[in-house]
Structure 1
Amino acid sequence: MLCGMATVTYYADDLESAKDWYSEFLGTAPYFTVPGGYYEFRIGDYQAELGLINRKFAPSHPDRPGGQVVNWHVDDLKATFERLLSMGAKEFEPITERGAGTGFVTAAVVDPFGNVLGIMSNPHYLEMLAQARITPSGT
C-alpha cells in the first residue's frame, strides 16, 4: 500500500542553477547535498523531500516534459502560479477547477530545467493537516 509521498525528484542539466532556482522559490537552502550529483530540500507541513539530481543520472532522457505530475498543496494557488511564471517557469497546465464547487484546483508549470511542477488547492490536504494537529487528548 502507498503510505504517502516521501521524496519527489527533479532532474537538471545545470544542477547548480536548479539548486539556486529552487532555493529562491522555496525560501530555503537544501539540507543535504552530494556535490555535483544531488541536492535535497525538506519542505511543507510534513517535511516532504524534494530532490534535485544531475540529469546524467536520470533513468531516461525524454525530449519533452511529461509523465507523472506531483501536485504540491499551496495556500494561495494563483499567487504561487504567478510567482513561478515570473521566475521563468512556463505554463504546462492553466489553473483548472477539478469538479465544480469541490475546492480542488490545480495548475502546473515546467520549471527552467524541464520538469513538471504541479501545484494544487486541496481541501482534503487541509482536513488531514487539521486532524494531525489535534493532540491525543483532543485539545
Structure 2
Amino acid sequence: MEHAILGLRTTIYQVADITLAKSWYAAAFGTQPYFDEPFYVGFNIGGYELGLQPERTAPENKAESGVAYWGVEDLRGAYLHFIKSGAVAFEEPTDVGGGIAVAKVKDPWDNIIGLIYNPHFVVGK
C-alpha cells in the first residue's frame, strides 16, 4: 500500500502547568523527558511518544474523546500506581473478553490515560 498507516506514534496531553505536569508524568511513567522546552515536553514510553503541551485556556470540563491506551503487563498494579501518583480513578480495571482488560485514570489536568493488558498484541506485528 503506497500510503500505509504505520501505527500510533504520538499521544499529546494538554496541561495547564507544563512544569508541574512534566514532574508528575516523569514520576507516573518512571522516566525523564528526552525533549524539554516551554512549548513541548516529550517522553519516550516504550518506543512511543507521550507529549505535553501547555493549554491556552483550561476548559471547565474536558470531554472524553479519543483515548490512548498504554500497554502494561500488570493492569491492576499499573492502575494502583497511577492512583498513588495522584491520578483519579475514571474506569476501574475491567475484563473486556479474550483475556484483554482495560482501565482509565485522569491525570491532575483532567486528561484520560488508558491502560490496557492485551496478551495478543505484539508490537510491530
1:65–1:110 CA contact under 8 A, matched in 2: no
TM-score by length of 2: 0.89
C-alpha contact (below 8 Å) 2:27/2:85 kept by paired residues: no
Q: Where in structure 2 are the equivalents of 1:88-127 lying within 5 Å?
A: 88-99=86-97, 102-125=98-121
Q: Distance in 2 between matches of 1:7 and 1:38?
A: 12
Residues 77-112 of structure 1, C-alpha deviations (whole Å, 9 max, x = no match): 10000011111111111111112xx11100000111
2-structure distance, mates of 1:103, 1:85 = 23
Runs of 4+ in 1 over 4 A off after TM superposition: none
* 2:16 match: 13
Per-residue deviation at 1:124? 2.2
CA contact (8 A) 2:107 2:113 kept: yes
Amino acid at match of 2:119: P
Q: How many equivalent residue pairs?
A: 122
Q: Equivalents in 1 of 2:86, 2:118: separation in Å?
A: 25
Bigger fraction of residues in strand: 2
Partner of 2:41: 39
Distance 1:26 1:10 in 2: 14
SS at match of 1:25: helix
Shift in alpha-carbon separation, 1:65–1:90, aligned structure 2, 3 A: farther
Gaps of 5+ in 1: 133-139
The 1:62/1:4 distance shift into structure 2, 3 A limit, reads: farther
Q: Distance in 1 between matches of 2:104 and 2:22?
A: 20
Larger radius of gyration: 1
1:70 counterpart residue number = 68
Give the Å deviation of 1:65. 4.0
Distance 1:62 1:104, change over 3 A: farther
Instruction: Give the secondary structure class of the aligned counterpart of 1:33.
Output: strand
**Residue type of the partner of 2:50?**
L
Partner of 1:123, secondary structure, is coil
Task: Determine what percentage of the aligned residue pairs are the same residue.
Answer: 34
What are the ranges of 5 or more consecutive residues in structure 2 without an aligned counterpart?
none
Residues 1:85 and 1:112: Cα distance change in structure 2 (over 3 Å): same
